[in-house]
């Protein structure tokens, strides 16, 4: 929407007034709708309702895969600390499950980046501050090479000797779970969804109208990216379903 509005300004300077008015109006109206209506919440709710919250019910847990994305890597590196972001529930769930199931394998997969030529990964940061989670060194298995969710699935499966009768949980944000499950299923890994970090609130739609416009814009931006990821995974053959479910 910002680019549409910017294009309108460009046409205004070259005196294409009609085109400028159309683009400026479209950009402004689009931003107003996205900023003041819970459109992003609706997109998130559709994704988050695909997989329900996990309940133990006496189930055996042999292993847990926790997807990266829960740390602000640059701030964590700058302040020598674990700085959680909006997906930080993944890290919290990892610590909780590690303590709840002491005999289960706990795998944290990925998140790789580079800052001014320096390689930084979420796995490295978590390993350095593992005691902050109340866990002992060596409790977590780290996969450090992956750049995205598809590589999370591929590289983690490659590094582990997973038995067919083992019961594994997949931990990621509820809105990210459908795409993650589709990608893991495609590599032949049968996992059970353990969603965390819901951002929608079904039944409380009216309350979201009072949320700040910046929050609506951020949610909408994130959800459009996620829906594009779902489409891309299906088109590229990385998933057998457009919108995976249990």
Helices (H) and strands (E) in the chain, counts: 9, 7
- Whether 62 shows a pLDDT value over 90: the answer reads yes
pTM of structure: 0.89
Q: Residues of CATH 3.40.50.620 domain(s) within the chain?
A: 53-196
Mean per-residue pLDDT, 208-219: 80
74 — pLDDT class (breaks 50, 70, 90): confident
15: left (phi over 0), alpha (psi -120 to 50) or beta: left
Residues 31 and 135: their CA atoms lie apart, in Å, by 45
CATH H-level superfamily of 53-196: HUPs (3.40.50.620)
CA 199 from centroid of its chain's CA atoms = 11
Would you state the pLDDT for residue 110?
A: 83
Give the range among 100-109, 142-151, 207-216, 235-244 with minimum mean pLDDT: 207-216
CA distances, 89 to each of 35, 143, 160, 205 (Å): 26, 19, 24, 23
């Amino acid at each position: 929407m910002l680019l549409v509005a910017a294009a309108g300004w460009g046409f205004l300077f070259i005196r294409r007034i009609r085109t400028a008015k159309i683009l400026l109006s479209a950009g402004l109206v689009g931003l107003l709708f996205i900023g003041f209506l819970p459109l992003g919440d609706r997109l998130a709710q559709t994704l988050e309702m695909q997989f329900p919250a996990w309940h133990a019910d006496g189930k055996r847990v042999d292993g847990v895969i926790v997807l990266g994305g829960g740390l602000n890597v640059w701030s964590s590196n700058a302040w020598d600390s674990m700085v959680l972001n909006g997906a930080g529930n993944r890290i919290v769930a990892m610590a909780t499950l590690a303590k709840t199931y002491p005999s289960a394998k706990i795998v944290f997969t990925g998140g790789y980046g580079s800052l001014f030529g320096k390689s930084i990964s979420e796995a490295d940061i978590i390993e350095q501050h593992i005691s902050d989670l109340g866990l002992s060194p060596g409790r977590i298995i780290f996969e450090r090479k992956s750049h995205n969710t598809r590589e999370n699935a591929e590289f983690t499966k490659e590094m582990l000797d997973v038995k067919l009768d083992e019961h594994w949980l997949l931990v990621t944000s509820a809105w990210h779970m459908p795409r993650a499950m589709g990608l893991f299923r495609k590599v032949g890994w049968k996992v059970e969804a353990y969603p965390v970090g819901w951002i929608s609130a079904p039944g409380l739609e009216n309350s979201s109208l009072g949320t700040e416009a910046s929050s609506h814009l951020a949610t909408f931006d994130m959800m459009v990216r996620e829906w594009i990821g779902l489409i891309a995974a299906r088109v590229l053959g990385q998933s057998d379903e457009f919108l995976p479910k249990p």
